[in-house]
Amino acid sequence: DTGVSQNPRHKITKRGQNVTFRCDPISEHNRLYWYRQTLGQGPEFLTYFQNEAQLEKSRLLSDRFSAERPKGSFSTLEIQRTEQGDSAMYLCASSSRAGGQETQYFGPGTRLLVL
């Protein structure tokens, strides 16, 4: 399968714990995006990378959220000191072109439940 992959698919954690999610983009896609989707809503943009550079992070939900893409390939999204309101689906997408011609391809998502 050459699509975007995300791990784990499901994560249950207790409030206050840290969690980390991984995204492997389509091979050779240089752009990688993170979104959050809550029940009954469309995906909400969080951050994105072009290669290893994080070009937009002002829309991360709080300073508890951080993302990395150290070698310009896979990316991780970390949530520190999780809260119940962090429960959501976290989606990763990748693309190979910028601007109007760009199409983002999404992974299956990681569903987080904070107890």
Partner 1 sequence: AQSVAQPEDQVNVAEGNPLTVKCTYSVSGNPYLFWYVQYPNRGLQFLLKYITGDNLVKGSYGFEAEFNKSQTSFHLKKPSALVSDSALYFCAVRGHNDMRFGAGTRLTVKP
Nearer to partner 1, 10 or 81 (CB): 10
Give, as one character, the DSSP assignment of residue 45: E
* Contact between 13 and 82 (Cβ < 8 Å): yes
Q: Could you give the CA distance from residue 62 to residue 65 in angstroms, rounded to a whole number?
A: 6
Instruction: Please choose, out of 14-22, 32-40, 63-71, 74-82, the segment that lies near partner 1 by the rule CB under 8 A.
Output: 32-40
For 18-27, b/e burial (b = at least 16 CB within 10 A) is: ebebebbbbe
Instruction: Please choose, out of 11-19, 62-70, 79-87, 95-103, the segment that lies near partner 1 by the rule CB under 8 A.
Output: 95-103
Given 55, 62, 81, 83, the residue binding partner 1 (CB under 8 A): 55
- As measured in angstroms, the least distance from the Cβ of 47 to partner 1 is 9
Given 11, 19, 48, 94, the residue binding partner 1 (CB under 8 A): 48
Q: Could you give the CA distance from residue 101 to residue 99 in angstroms, rounded to a whole number?
A: 6
Given 11, 21, 33, 112, the residue binding partner 1 (CB under 8 A): 33
